[in-house]
Amino acid sequence: MASWNSIPLEVLYDTLGWIAFFSWSISFYPQVILNFKRKSVVGLNFDFVVLNLTKHSSYLIYNASMFFSSVVQKQYREKYGLHEMIPVAANDVAFSTHAVLLTAFTLFQIVIYDRGNQKVSKTSIGIVCVAWLTVAVCVFVALPSHSWLWLISCFNTLQVVMTVIKYIPQAIMNFQRKSTIGFSIGNILLDLLGGVTNYGQMAVQSIDQNSWVNFYGNIGKTLLSLVSIFFDLLFILQHYVIYPAWKIGTSRDVDVIGKKPLLKTSDDENKEDV
């Protein structure tokens, strides 16, 4: 079994990992708190949340299997080298578990709070159904040969795909509304910190082991960090540069604007004409 060559690098690895854990975990709370204060989820894209639940659920299955299953770890070392370190840390499992719980709670808020005219799109529902149907097929393919590493890699691939897809509806909604009101920027800033430290953790392990297997042996974690960083920077640009709050109105107007329907009905247009 592989071991650390440098104690300082091992300490740095653990430190970066838990910074990523706390950053990513805490990043869920600004949105939850904002929803609670406004008693409204207008401005939060529901597709983002639904896709996010599938993403984190599949990532939890991958992380937990890789971290706890000796059979999966054996297959990993047989493929990448007997002396390679497992590319999943305790903080990865802890984060995934917390993420599933908080995302599910956010969905609960969507059910009980003011939604305006927003709803989950049929496209999003279709994507989720296809995703889990595909995984079900992979399970049946893996069973005869006991290809457990390949199977959990399918879950890892799914979480990468969902990571890419989940950000797009929110980015489009911000563009259409010309506003980020209702979508917490605190979430994004913490998510960015988590992505950077998560990537740094992988780099530290690779430097210590003098091997880059860590990056392509867990390509899902690598892409998770890079994709998150890219979209976080996009959201930060939207919030602070393209659609800053001072262009929308005063702080008193923010909650009012945030609760306005995204699309006007024909009755609303007729009232304005009168």
Sign of CA dihedral 110, 118, 182, 19: positive
Per the structure, the count of domains in the chain is 1
Residue 214: band (very low, low, confident or very high) from pLDDT cuts 50, 70, 90: confident
Q: What confidence category does residue 254 fall into, taking pLDDT thresholds of 50, 70 and 90?
A: very low
- Domain membership of residue 266 (yes or no) is no
What is the per-residue pLDDT across 146-177, written as a single tens digit (0 to 9) for each? 999 999 999 999 998 998 898 888 899 889 88
The per-residue pLDDT for 250 is: 43
Answer whether residue 57 is part of any domain.
yes
Mean per-residue pLDDT of the chain = 86
% of the chain exceeding 70 in pLDDT: 89
Per-residue pLDDT band for 224 (boundaries 50, 70, 90) equals: confident
Q: What is the pTM of this model?
A: 0.78
The CA-atom distances, in angstroms, between 31 and each of 45, 94, 97, 103, 171 are 11, 20, 18, 10, 16
Select from 158, 163, 21 the least CA-distant residue to 95: 21
Tell me whether residue 256 is in a domain: no
pLDDT of 143 higher than 60: yes
Domain annotation covers residue 261: no
Q: Is residue 268 part of a domain?
A: no
In a domain, 269, yes or no: no
- Is 258 domain-assigned? no
Domain membership of residue 75 (yes or no) is yes
| Burial of 58 from C-beta contacts in 10 A (0-12 / 13-18 / 19+) | buried
Are 193 and 167 in contact by the 8 Å Cβ rule? The answer is no
* Domain residue limits at 82: 5-250
The residue-averaged pLDDT of 70-98 equals 90
* pLDDT tier at 249, thresholds 50, 70, 90: low
| pLDDT range class, residue 263, cuts 50, 70, 90 | very low
Q: Quick one: pLDDT band at residue 259, thresholds 50, 70, 90?
A: very low
Per-residue pLDDT, averaged over 34-39, amounts to 92
Residue 216: its pLDDT value, please?
A: 76
